[in-house]
Amino acid sequence: MALMEWANLKAHELRALAADDAVVIAPVAAMEQHGPHLPVQVDSRLATEVSHRAAQKAHKEQATVVLPVVWAGLSEHHMPFGGTITLNYETLLSIFRCIVDSVQRHGFNKVVILNGHGGNIDACKMIAQSLSLELEDVTIIAATYWLEAASRIAPILEDQSNVLHAGEAETSMMLQLEADLVDDSDLASHRTPADLSFLLAGEGSFRWRDLAAVTSNGVLGDPSKANAAKGEQLLEAASDAISDLITNPATWAPTTDLREDSTAGVPFHR
């Protein structure tokens, strides 16, 4: 089955996919600095690749179509390093409100927001919640590919347990996909501690921090541990996990109002 890219299809083909109850993958990522060795497109390139591979795998069981990536996200914390375009949350929510409303009006009722940028994780969950309450009869899944694939990714990596900004994992995947855009002449010199604890306060609380407060060069982790073979393994692990998410009937199962009759009349959101 050919890859189902929304942008390549004719309107009547998309109407047929809607009639087939296809899942719409809407990738979202970022355009932001990725250290001295990687281009600013990394997150958008990787979210697109994972989406395409996942759709190809899932499509055998569940019709799936992939929108073009929303290439900017919430990247304020990367602005001090240059090269970064950031949206604010209200704008990202508005973009997805229009995207989900559009696809739903065309008959699609299953949407996966496929996120490829750490700064978007909480925003994507909030977008899924807000739009699920606003728009009836559409199921919206917020998935960050490396979180959905965490248990499959960990055994592949040496320096870190999951994807970190411009480190071993992202550098490996870019070496596999876009080697000409990677400056691998001195990867060892770009190493920084692979640590996200700067985002924590106390035992389990959050505080916002600019990335320039925790890394001198915009990297988290050790890109010298990267190689293309590892990148291919990571892309396969991530797309396997997203495909499994899409083809699992439980992902799309309707909810049931379990309340007693005495509370009937108070709204319940499916």
Would you say 49 or 104 has its CB closer to Zn ion? 49
Q: Which residue number places its CB atom closest to Zn ion?
A: 43
Sequence-ordered strand ranges (E) for the chain: 23-28, 64-66, 110-115, 139-144, 200-201, 205-206
Nearer CB in complex with Zn ion: 23/114? 114
Find the shortest distance in angstroms from Cβ 43 to Zn ion. Answer: 4
Residue number with CB closer to Zn ion (103 or 175)? 175
Instruction: Give Cα separations from 105 to 7, 61, 137, 144, 204 (angstroms).
Output: 17, 24, 11, 25, 41
For the bound state, the minimum distance from the C-beta of residue 187 to Zn ion, rounded and expressed in Å, comes to 16
- Rounded to the nearest angstrom, the gap between the alpha carbon of residue 266 and the centroid of all alpha carbons in its chain is 35
* Residue 143 bridge partners (DSSP): 114
- Which one, 9 or 121, has the nearer CB to Zn ion? 121
DSSP character at residue 106? T
Least distance from Zn ion to the Cβ atom of residue 42, Å: 5
Q: Would you tell me which residues interact with Zn ion (CB under 5 A)?
A: 42-43, 170
Tokens of 49: 């690749």
User: Which residue number, 78 or 110, has a Cβ lying nearer to Zn ion?
Assistant: 78
Give the nearest distance from C-beta 98 to Zn ion in angstroms. Answer: 25
Please say which residue, 36 or 107, places its beta carbon nearer to Zn ion: 36
Q: Tell me how far apart the alpha carbons of residues 153 and 36 are, in angstroms, rounded to a whole number.
A: 25
To the nearest whole angstrom, how small is the minimum distance from the Cβ of residue 75 to Zn ion? 10
Cα 223 from chain centre: 21
Question: With contact defined as beta carbons under 8 Å apart, do 77 and 209 qualify?
Answer: yes
Identify whether the C-beta of residue 64 lies closer than 8 Å to the C-beta of residue 23: yes
CB of 167 to Zn ion, least distance (A): 9
